[in-house]
């Protein structure tokens, strides 16, 4: 089945096309993108390189800086894990992927520059995994960019078959899909074939199937930032399992469909409304009461040269963090 002659709806179509052409999953995705967007190969590669550059600088910023999130709930964890990782129980690469994922997510939460991949909330997973695997296997930018196209292949299929927003399908649709995309890119970078990449994606998604979206105070901070780290770790394990020859019993496209179906079954309280899960815990609720604006207070807040007599309280210009 094809999508109006453009992007195929199934991962198996893309995998088969890659296998029969003897090219990578990323190469097939790149060709489809050029056809769909009407842009040259050079331009598509240039755009993806720009994404990679932003991912890299977000990692650096998150690991080195002392970031404070806009809501004040997260920040500084990436640096802690980075500092600790050589003594870690779960190994250098898993912890590198996790600390980088934390770093990018912390940058996002503190109004820094990121690449939504597939969403802003889940923006840490792919850079965390991809940059760690690229370092591990000694991949250059050209190969890393092609691996991002492989991630894109998985993302396109997930978006068209199931949806990729927490409001539609819970966090499985954001962090779950991000992990699936990341795992596929990792397999490609490590030299696995397109089929292994698709199965790594499927296994990642299976691990995160059913994950709810329950952000405290409705902000992209808790649990989002840490979920990026865990999703990166799952993607690393799934990529390794696929490279070891393990295959998902349920075919990748069926796993994606199951994710979509589970998303539709999720109650609204667990789909980004901040009414269930961690958001509805006593601590979640009290944090929300502290951070969120109290709508009973109808007075205004002024920022500017002069205070207006009728405007209630004045707020100092902020955003200097």
Partner 1 sequence: MGTSIFEIIGPIMIGPSSSHTAGAVKIGRLARAILAEKPVDAKIDLHGSFARTYKGHGTDRALVGGLLGFGPDDERLRDSLRLAHEAGLQVIFQFPDLEAELGPLHPNTARLTLKGQNGLTVRIVGSSIGGGRAVVTRIDDFEARITGEYPALVTLHRDKPGVIAALTRILADAGINIAGMTVSRTGRRGRALAVIETDEAIDSSIADLARAHQGVERAIVIVP
122-151 binders of ligand SF4 (CB under 6 A)? 122
Place of tokens 């207070």: 297
Nearer Cβ to partner 1, position 121 or 170? 121
| 86-125 footprint of ligand SF4 as x/- string (CB under 6 A) | -----------------------------------xx---
Cβ 95 vs Cβ 236: under 8 Å: no
Partner interacting with residue 171 (select from partner 1, ligand SF4, none; CB below 5-8 Å by kind): ligand SF4
Which listed residue (119, 144, 204, 248) binds partner 1 by CB under 8 A? 119
Among 107, 216, 220, 274, binds ligand SF4 (CB under 6 A): 220
Interacting residues of 72 by C-beta distance below 8 A, sequence separation 6+: 291
Q: How far is the CB of 176 from partner 1 (least distance, A)?
A: 14
Q: Which residues contact 82 (CB under 8 A, 6 or more apart)?
A: 63, 96, 99, 103
Nearest-approach distance from CB 46 to ligand SF4, in angstroms: 29
Binding of partner 1 by 109 (CB under 8 A): yes
Show Cβ contacts of residue 238 under 8 Å, excluding neighbours closer than 6 positions.
Answer: 179, 183, 200, 201, 203, 204, 207
Contacting ligand SF4 (CB under 6 A), which of 183, 224, 232, 235?
224
Among 117, 228, 231, 248, binds partner 1 (CB under 8 A): 117
CB-based burial label for 14 (10 Å; 0-12, 13-18, 19+): buried
Residue 184 and residue 150 in contact, taking contact as beta carbons nearer than 8 Å = yes
CA angle 151/186/250 to nearest 5° reads 70
Interface residue with ligand SF4 among 75, 155, 163, 166 (CB under 6 A) is 166
Return the one option of partner 1, ligand SF4, none that residue 3 interacts with (CB less than 5 to 8 A, by type).
Answer: partner 1
Contact call for residues 106 and 67 (beta carbons, < 8 A): yes
How many residues are present in the chain?
A: 321
Q: Which stretch of DSSP H or E encloses residue 289?
A: helix 282-291
Q: Minimum Å distance from CB 266 to partner 1?
A: 18
Q: Which residue's CB is nearer to partner 1, number 158 or number 241?
A: 158
CA distance 127 to 124: 6
**Stretches 10-18, 186-194, 198-206, 210-218: which one binds ligand SF4 (CB under 6 A)?**
210-218
297 binds partner 1 (CB under 8 A): yes
**Is 160 among the residues that bind partner 1 (CB under 8 A)?**
yes
When asked if residue 171 is in the footprint of ligand SF4 (CB under 6 A), the reply is: yes
Please state, in angstroms and rounded to a whole number, the distance separating the CA atoms of residues 208 and 94: 17
Q: Which is nearer to ligand SF4, 82 or 174 (CB)?
A: 174
Residue of the chain from 22, 138, 304, 309 that contacts partner 1 (CB under 8 A): 304
Q: Which among ligand SF4, partner 1, none contacts residue 227 (Cβ within 5 to 8 A by kind)?
A: ligand SF4
Cβ of residue 232: shortest distance to ligand SF4, in angstroms? Answer: 13
DSSP letter for 67, please.
-
Cβ–Cβ under 8 Å, residues 263 and 275: no
Q: Are 169 and 263 in contact (CB under 8 A)?
A: yes
Cα-Cα end-to-end distance for the chain: 50
User: Taking CB within 5 to 8 Å according to partner kind, which of ligand SF4, partner 1, none is near residue 122?
Assistant: ligand SF4
The entry of partner 1, ligand SF4, none that residue 281 binds, CB within 5 to 8 Å by partner kind? none
The structure tokens listed for 247 are 């295959």
């Amino acid at each position: 089945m094809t999508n109006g002659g453009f992007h195929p709806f199934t991962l198996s179509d893309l995998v088969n096309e890659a296998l029969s052409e003897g090219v990578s999953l990323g190469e097939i995705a790149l060709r489809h993108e050029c056809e769909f967007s009407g842009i040259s190969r050079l331009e598509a590669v240039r755009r993806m390189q720009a994404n990679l550059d932003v991912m890299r600088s977000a990692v650096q910023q998150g690991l080195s800086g002392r970031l404070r999130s806009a809501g004040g709930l997260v920040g500084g964890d990436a640096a802690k894990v980075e500092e600790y990782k050589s003594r870690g129980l779960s190994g250098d690469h898993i912890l590198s992927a996790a600390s980088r994922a934390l770093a990018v997510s912390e940058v996002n939460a503190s109004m820094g520059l990121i690449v939504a991949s597939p969403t802003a909330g889940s923006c840490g997973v792919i850079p965390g995994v991809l940059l760690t695997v690229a370092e591990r296997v000694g991949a250059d930018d050209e190969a890393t960019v092609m691996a991002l196209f492989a991630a894109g292949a998985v993302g396109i299929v997930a978006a068209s078959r199931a949806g990729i927003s927490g409001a539609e399908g819970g966090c499985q649709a954001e962090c779950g899909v991000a992990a699936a995309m990341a795992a596929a890119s990792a397999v490609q970078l490590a030299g696995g074939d397109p089929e292994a990449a698709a199965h790594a994606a499927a296994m990642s998604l299976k691990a995160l199937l059913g994950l709810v979206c329950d952000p405290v105070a409705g902000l992209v901070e808790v649990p989002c930032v840490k979920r990026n780290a865990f999703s990166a770790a799952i993607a690393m394990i799934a990529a390794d399992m696929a490279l070891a020859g393990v295959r998902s019993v349920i075919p990748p496209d069926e796993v994606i469909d199951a994710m979509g179906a589970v998303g539709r079954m999720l109650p609204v309280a667990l789909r980004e409304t901040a009414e269930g899960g961690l958001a509805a815990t006593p601590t979640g609720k009290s944090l929300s009461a502290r951070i969120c604006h109290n709508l009973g207070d109808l007075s205004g807040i002024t920022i500017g040269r002069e205070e207006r007599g009728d405007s209630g309280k004045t707020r100092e210009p902020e955003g200097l963090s």
